[in-house]
Structure 1
């Protein structure tokens, strides 16, 4: 019996020593990790959530995406009713085409009138030129006739020729003088007609004004048409980002006001971990420190990360109105500061809001230096 008791005591001592050593080892391990790591259980996946809203009032005609669909920038998501705007666009388009035709007509009239007047002016100038040549010839003949009449008068006075020749020369001169008078009158009439033709060019100026007014009307209609097209495009809601449709708040046929939130998107490639670190640990953190990440959704896997941003304002200051800040500080609550962690290797499925635990390797803490 005494031997058995001694054996039992020995075994108990060995077991006790083993557990003491085990406990000491565990304590040393925990102490080492506490001195070289910062743990935080208040962490979750974050992403930039894009909230898509309507810019105008209206009824939803079609919803072209479902929750979980992958979309790209510019993809059509929602079509709102635009029947009234389409009617206005069609009416304005018809009016615009009519106004353009009117402008084209004015320009054609101007061109035709310009060509016609130029032709008439050219013809009349040639006519005046011809009349002046004819008048010059008549004046030359009249001058010669006057000289001949003077010579005949002299001969008659000397009885060297008959009075009949004098009468013939006088009649001839009188006839030439009449022709000169008629020619001069014809030139004056032609010149007046030329002035009348030139005066008709004022119609071109009137047509120019009509063209300017018509062009202004065309530009006004184009501007109105563009405004309606912009308004119609605002009823075709497109994706502003590459991402996944997270939730759709509205249904087809539902009437919505402007600024109404319709759906939420996020880019699955643009995610990070946000850990809210206690202020007494923040001095140990630096950009680029490696991080071990555990997700509740993946209990048997660990993932790698890296510190990419350390906040410069506490969560309480971000969350509370200014009037409440003094009361928070007076209570001396432990403050937390947001820290962003980049996911180096991502889980297969990630969703903003998923819970995580982070283990930031800091090597050693300040009091060890």
Structure 2
């Protein structure tokens, strides 16, 4: 009887180890978002094989909205973090939105262009570059979606 009990204990331990391994396997296949939010687009289908680093979903946090405005470099000297911003949203023409300048980019948008501007002739044409400026929005109860078109008016008198 002692040998049968020992054999059953061994079998129980082996089955428990298999169960633990299966739980780890299931946990490895579970997708977890880095934060709460809404799924905007799904790039893979159920049962599809995926690779490390492959984009599977696009999501956004509706409570963390901001505007990225591309401001001319000639206007940067008048910009400061914390300045008030009046925002008009095309979807809500009769509603005023407000925000503040949160961050002024450290490089121009030309550095991130997919196609660099070739200059084989050596001639130089000066073009005013634009710098991304992040504007935080005040919540006013209206539904705003990523990609909506807006116009910003930064109060540069506020230094």
TM exceeds 0.5? yes
Secondary structure in 2 aligned to 1:283?
A: helix
What RMSD, in angstroms, separates the aligned Cα atoms of the two structures? 3.1
Secondary structure in 1 aligned to 2:66?
A: strand
Show the counterpart of 1:342.
136
Deviation of 1:362 after TM superposition, in Å, equals 1.0
Q: Which runs of 5+ in 1 are unaligned?
A: 1-94, 102-217
Secondary structure in 1 aligned to 2:27?
A: helix
Higher relative contact order (CA 8 A, sep 6+): 1
Q: Which runs of 5+ in 2 are unaligned?
A: 1-6
Counterpart contact for 1:313–1:337, Cα < 8 Å: yes
Deviation of 1:256 after TM superposition, in Å, equals 2.3
Show the counterpart of 1:106.
none
Show the counterpart of 2:10.
98
Secondary structure in 2 aligned to 1:317?
A: helix
Query: Cα distance 1:286–1:98, how it changes in 2: closer, same or farther (>3 A)?
Result: same
Show the counterpart of 1:308.
102
Q: Which has the higher strand share?
A: 2
Show the counterpart of 1:256.
49
The Cα offsets for residues 192-226 of structure 1, whole Å up to 9 and x where unpaired, read as xxxxxxxxxxxxxxxxxxxxxxxxxx7xx94x765
Query: Cα distance 1:342–1:233, how it changes in 2: closer, same or farther (>3 A)?
Result: same
Secondary structure in 1 aligned to 2:23?
A: helix
Counterpart contact for 2:84–2:158, Cα < 8 Å: no
Counterpart contact for 1:317–1:325, Cα < 8 Å: no
Bigger drift between 338-347 and 353-362 goes to 338-347
Q: 2:38 aligns with which of 225, 236, 244?
A: 244
Show the counterpart of 1:278.
72
Counterpart contact for 1:291–1:360, Cα < 8 Å: yes
Q: 2:156 aligns with which of 362, 365, 369?
A: 362
Deviation of 1:364 after TM superposition, in Å, equals 7.9
Secondary structure in 1 aligned to 2:80?
A: coil
Counterpart contact for 1:293–1:304, Cα < 8 Å: yes
The Cα offsets for residues 229-279 of structure 1, whole Å up to 9 and x where unpaired, read as 322212222333111111223344x42223443322111111111110000
Residues in 2 aligned to 1:290 and 1:363: alpha-carbon distance in whole angstroms: 10
Query: Cα distance 1:96–1:343, how it changes in 2: closer, same or farther (>3 A)?
Result: farther
Of structures 1 and 2, the larger Rg is shown by: 1
